[in-house]
Amino acid sequence: MFTKRHTINNSKRLPLRKVVCACALALLTLEPFAIAQSGATESQGLGSRIEGTWIVTIHRVNQGVTFTALQSFTAGGVTVATGSMDRTPPPPISPLYGSWVHMNDNSYTAAICFFAFDPAGNAVAIIKTPETLHLVDDNNLVGTGSGLACDLNGDHCVDINSPITISGKRLLASN
């Protein structure tokens, strides 16, 4: 058992007022650094200009079909998407997942994939769409892509002659 009682020496404690003042001074000192990190060219304060969510129009050139999709680009190179035609015609497709990389000033490349299912609901292929995207400005992009059918491991891909064109506008948090 403990036989000695521990006491706090109040003479060594800082008054609460001094602690609050020190914290406020630290925040004021750091504020210019926080402002300097979000440049005017980085839309919505994001690290890469493409990061964020885009409302895109996809035109399947050979089929003459156009639809709307949402595609998001995250820090670290992940892209996810969903389209207005993902559930029609049956059978539906899986969610779309992929990767992206910055190529040069305003250009990016992405590969986005989804599972295709047979009428019984069994996954039969991965459809991979390599995309080339170009930022027109901070809030508009254009691009092209093509369709590849791959095995369920994403290998042995063959061109399915399904070119697409892409145009999009950034989904702004303020709208």
pLDDT-based confidence at 91, cuts 50/70/90?
Answer: confident
* Domain at 46-170, CATH from 3.30.300.350, 2.102.10.10, 2.40.128.120, 3.40.640.10: 2.40.128.120
Q: In this predicted structure, what is the pLDDT of residue 87?
A: 82
Residue type, 101: V
pLDDT tens digits along 27-77: 333 333 332 333 333 344 456 899 999 999 999 999 999 999 999 999 999
> Is the pLDDT score of 24 beyond 90?
no
> Is the pLDDT score of 152 beyond 70?
yes
Q: In this predicted structure, what is the pLDDT of residue 146?
A: 97
Average pLDDT over residues 114-127: 93
Mean pLDDT computed over every residue of the chain: 80
In DSSP terms, which residues pair with 18 in a beta bridge?
A: none
Contact of 127 with 150, CB cutoff 8 Å: yes
Cα(44)–Cα(36) distance, integer angstroms: 14
Give domain limits for the chain. 46-170
Q: In this predicted structure, what is the pLDDT of residue 151?
A: 98
Backbone angles phi, psi at 30, to 5 degrees: -85, -20
**The whole model's pTM is what?**
0.72
